[in-house]
Each structure stands twice: as structure tokens, then as C-alpha cells.
Amino acid sequence: MLATLLLLMNLTCIMAQNEMKIEYKLRILEPHTHYVDVEMKIDKVEGDSIELVMPVWTPGSYLIREFPKNVDSFAAEASGKSLNQKKVAKHTWKIETNGESSLKVNYRVYCYELTVRTSFVDAGKAYLNGTSIFMYPKGQLKTPVTVQIEGHADWGQLICSLKSNGNKWSLKAPNYDVLVDSPILLGNPDVFEFTASGVPHRVAFDGRGNYDKEQIKKDFIKITEVETELFGENPCDDFTYIILNTENSYGGLEHLNSTSLIFPRWSYKAPDKYLKFVSLAAHEYFHLWNVKRIRPVELGPFDYTQENHTENLWVAEGFTSYYDEYLLRRADLIDESKYLQLLAEVFNYNDNTPGTRVQPLAEASFDAWIKYYRRNENSNNCCQSYYTGGAGIAAIFDLVIRHNSDGEKSLDDVLRYLYYEIYKKEDRGYTDAEVKEAFEASLGEQTDWFFEKYIYGCERPDFEKYLGYFGLNLVDQNADIFRPSLGVKTKETNGRMMISEVRAGGSAYEAGLNVGDEIVAVDNYRVMKSLEKTVSASKPGQMVNYLINRDGEIMTFEVMMKASTNKRYKLEKDANATDKIKRLYEQWMGAKF
């Protein structure tokens, strides 16, 4: 036994000695040029050649973004001499080592796209997403790395969830996956800290804005506590928020121990817009569990060179979209009335988007790479969002589980099952079959029919039935309003009324009007700024003449005006609800029926 132990120790020692060593040095000395200069030192290289790879996408954002397009001035050397190198694929450079075991590689990355998915450098800051900055030696994703940063002299802070490697300008990561899952902010951000659920949190705001730090701190503490309580533990030793204030941008991206948010700088004071910010923060924080730990098996370990398809984004993103608002209610950050309004909007989306009857949720997940992130004028007619569509399914699953178990279980139990039984015990992602098993364990019945109809099919869920379990009626406020509708979206361009979207089955669709058509006149009256007033003067079934400019050709279309089919739902309590229904509602909503 002792001999075996000594052998294992010797093998471990030998492996550590032979392990490749990777060090990066980033220089951003002229940020007005928007370039990051990367020096990469690689020791203990074996063989006659080595290949370096630059990712083409970033986890959490399912689109091939072609990061290598921003790389230039690639060069390699060893012992002070240049090495031959050649680009052998759009994302791969092959270096002939000439038998050298220690190499130095230099390249530049142009960074001028300010989103949470990309990298951006200007005189005021550098925001770096790892997949768009760091190359890796092929086959070395598990190798530990260090990063040294030399930033502009005016920049006083480095914000990143990675651990320091001796000083604040040096970082270390146990492997490449963790490195690129830890965005870096350099500059002079406004930083504050708090502790919630025993975890230290750091919040860094870059750029001016009318945010209230004390209010945000209170709300972020509540978000942390309610989400940690749901899962029973917080997986982080510490957590970092990076918040980029801009004029109009909005979005977020989850990371292993941090998140990046981008938000309009002057929108924090308006209540509805601030609610959107808090909901965004709750969404990305919830991803600590659902996506970064609970994940489809296809999403990690990652292949950074191509699409990583999964049919389960309706769980990863859709369920998170349900909880980001529902947990605000559980944290008492919004009242009962507001939450019911937000939930009704989910059902509005389902019934007002033709694509929900064309594209199943599983397919919407799989095709995110080519459809969701590459929307066009026809997307609403043929596609649905796995975010909002998945949120609707999550709400229904939650209600059905609560109903079937008489309030003993909920959708919380499904997520806890996936977290503890799959991630914690086996440290891997879940399979399609295991998603069903998790639902069935909480629901107490088989779910083949549910998945067949609503996940792999396009059948409309019986929202009215499931909401009725909790004493809620889904009321269409447009039911008795007969409004004519052309079935288009328009935008004004240089004083011209242009069609930007045509709804499948609508009046314009049936008559042959196209996206890109200019509406010149309706029944011989010139259309100026408001198409709505012109349309509202018509009656359903009326024939109306539309004068159209199509690429310079003047055409007349006779359009039969149809009534609008758009729903405008609200949720109303059933006056005849039983005591059991009221009890279930109060347990779910945290408010009196």
C-alpha cells in the first residue's frame, strides 16, 4: 500500500514537472487606439510544432462572433529568433518550434465593441471578455495560467473575479475555462461592497449614471438571499458585478463567479426602468446555479471553435426568465399586482407571436445560433424566444407541481434535484432524459405527453386550465374590442412610412404587401406620420386601397381589413375559488387571495 502511494506521488510530481506553463501579458498603453497587445509565453512545449487557437464565440451568448477577425500582427519567436508560423484555419495558427521548448508569441487584438459579450478599449477603460482576447494551445484547456496586465497610467483599478497572483495587476486561473469566464474591467470605476448569505460581493459601476448605490445594495442583498435560500447554498466564495453604464444599451452575461450588466446610464430613477435593471441582475445572478452549475451536458466542457448545440435553452434561459421576476415577488421587491401583470405579459407573448405555432421550444434552443441571434423581418412569424416561451412553460410546470403535490413541492424541487443529484454528485451537465426525470420526480407522474405537445411540438398549453388551479382567470381585455389591423410594423425613414415587418395571416400579408414597401397613401389620402389613425378609420372586412412605392415602382393594393387578433391579457381572481385554491395561491404568491 505504501509502495503504491509513493508511486502515485512520484507520478504526480513528474506530471507537474512536465506540465506546460502558460503566461499572458496584456499591454494597453495607448487605449485610444483600441488595441490590446498580448504577449504569450509558453514553456515545456513538446514536438516539432504547436497550434494556438482563438475562440469564435463566448459561452452564454450562442452566436459565432468570429473573434479571430480582430487579431493582427501575429508573430512567434524562441531564443531570440523568429519562428515560422502559418494560419491553418480561421481560428488556428500553427508554429514550427524547431525543437524549442520555450516560445514567446505576440499578437494584437482590436477591441471596440461595447457589449457584455465582446471587448472594448478606449481612453476611459478597458472591458475584456476572455474568449475575444486569449488564445490557447490546442489540447491545453486544463492547464493553469497567469495574466500580468500593464494598463494606462491613468487607470487605478482592476476588477475581476480571478484571484490575485501576488499583486493587483497580476491574476491566476486554474485553467483556460475559468480564465475566459472571468471578465476584466480596467479603469476608475465606482466600487462598493456588501455581504449577503455569507458571501462578499463587489459592485463596480463604469461610467456616469443616476444610480443610487444604497438602494441597489439593499435590493442586491435581497436578491442574493432569496436565490441562495431556494438552492440551500451559495456556490461562490465571492462574487463580482461589473456594470457598464451607456446611453441606450441593455443586457447581461453570466459568469462562474461574476456577471456583466450593461444599462442606460440615466434610467435608474424611473420605477419601471429600475425594475428592469433589478430583474436583469436577478436573472444573471440566478445563472450562478442554472447554467453555470446546472447546465445541459452539451454546454461544458466547451468547444470554442464551433457551435455547441443543445435543445435545453428553454430550461437554462427560460426557467431563469420565470424566476427573475417571480423571485422579485418572493423577495418583496414587487407587489402582488405588479407580478401578476408581468406574468400576464408572458402569456401575451405566447398568443401574439405567430412563431410559437411554428417553431417548438426544443428547436428554438437548438437553432439559437442561426435564428435567435440572427433575427430578420420574418422572425416573429417563424420563430419563438426560448426565454419568454420557456418562462411560460416554467410557470405552468410550477403551478402543476404545486397543485399535484398539494403545495408540498414546486419547480424549486426540480432545480434542486438537478443541482444536487447531477452537478454536485457528478460534476457534469444533465441530459435530455434527466430533465424529464427531474420533472417526473417532483410531479409524481410521467411527462411524455407534456414534452411531446409543448416542448417538441407547437401545441398551445392550456394556460386557462393551469391558472385555474390557483384561482386565476386569464382575461383578454381586447376580446370585445373590434379593431381593424393592417398587421404590419412600420418605421419612419426620412419622412417616408416604411413597412418593417408583416405579420403572417394579417391583412397586409394576405394582400401581398412586403417589408420594405413605402405606404404612400390610403384610399387616396396621403400617409404622413401616423398609420394607426388611418387604419383605425377602417372597419373589419372593409376593402381599402393602399398606394405603395416598391423600389421606385408605384403599385396599388386592395386590402381587406381584418380585425386585430392581438391579445391583451390580465389575470383576475376567481370569486368562486375554493379554500384549497386560495391556500395554494397564497403559498405561491406570498399574499392573501
pLDDT in tens, 243-302: 999 999 999 999 999 999 999 999 999 999 999 999 999 999 999 999 999 999 999 999
Q: Based on the domain organization, do 445 and 326 belong to the same domain?
A: yes
pLDDT digits (tens, 9 = 90+) for 77-87: 999 999 999 99
- List the beta bridge partners of residue 187: 157
Over range 213-231, report the average pLDDT: 98
Q: Is the pLDDT score of 177 beyond 70?
A: yes
Positive or negative: CA dihedral 526, 529, 531, 533: negative
Whole-model pTM: value is: 0.94
Q: What is the CATH number of the domain that holds 550?
A: 2.30.42.10
User: Are 440 and 578 part of one and the same domain?
Assistant: yes
% of the chain with per-residue pLDDT over 90? 91
Summary count for the chain: helices (H), strands (E): 18, 31
Instruction: Return mean pLDDT, the chain.
Output: 95
Residue type (1 letter), 55: P
**Residue 148 falls within a domain, yes or no?**
yes
Give the separation between CA 563 and CA 29, rounded to whole angstroms.
61
CATH of the domain at 275: 3.30.2010.30
Q: What pLDDT, on the 0 to 100 scale, is given for residue 531?
A: 84
Q: What share of the chain is helix, strand, coil (3-state, %, to 5)?
A: 35, 30, 40
Last residue of a domain, one of 138, 158, 187: 187
364-to-315, 323, 388, 473 alpha-carbon distances in Å: 12, 20, 11, 29
Say if residue 14's pLDDT is above 60: no
CATH number, domain with residue 71: 2.60.40.3650
C-alpha cell of 566? 392581438
Give the domain range for residue 501. Answer: 484-563
Query: Residue 469 corresponds to which cell in the numbers above?
Result: 388551479
334: Cα separation from own chain's centroid: 23
How far is the first Cα of the chain from the last one, in angstroms, to the nearest whole number? Answer: 67
Peptide bond between residue 461 and the one before it cis (omega within 30 degrees of 0): no
* 432-463 pLDDT, tens digit each: 999 999 999 999 899 999 999 999 999 999 99
Query: Among positive and negative, which fits the CA dihedral 318, 323, 329, 334?
Result: negative
Based on the domain organization, do 197 and 183 belong to the same domain?
Answer: no
Q: How many angstroms separate the CA atoms of 60 and 575, rounded?
A: 44
C-alpha cell at 8: 502515485
Given pLDDT bands bounded at 50, 70 and 90, which one contains residue 5?
very low
Q: At residue 338, does pLDDT exceed 90?
A: yes
**pLDDT band at 530; cut points 50, 70, 90:** confident
The answer as to whether 7 is a domain residue is no
Confidence of residue 2 (pLDDT cuts 50, 70, 90): very low
Whether residue 48 has pLDDT greater than 70: yes
Q: Is 18's pLDDT higher than 70?
A: no
What pLDDT is recorded for position 99? Answer: 93
Verify that 182 and 193 share a domain, yes or no: no
Q: Do 182 and 117 share a domain, yes or no? A: yes
Res. 6 pLDDT band, cuts 50 70 90: very low
Total structural domains within the chain: 4
**Range with the poorest average pLDDT among 131-140, 181-190, 538-547:** 538-547
170 and 249 assigned to the same domain = no
> Which residues, 6+ apart, have CB-to-CB distance to 62 below 8 Å?
307, 308, 313, 368, 369, 372, 373
Strands of the sheet containing 92-96, edge to edge, are 85-89, 92-96, 49-53, 136-137
Helix ranges restricted to H, 199-246: 213-231
Residue 3 has pLDDT above 70, yes or no: no
Q: Over the stretch 384-429, which tens digit does the pLDDT of each residue have?
A: 999 999 999 999 999 999 999 999 999 999 999 999 999 999 999 9
Closest CA to 591 of 217, 400, 337: 337
What is the domain-level CATH number for residue 318? 1.10.390.10
The rounded distance, in Å, linking the Cα atoms of 314 and 364 is 8
What confidence score (pLDDT) does residue 261 get? 98
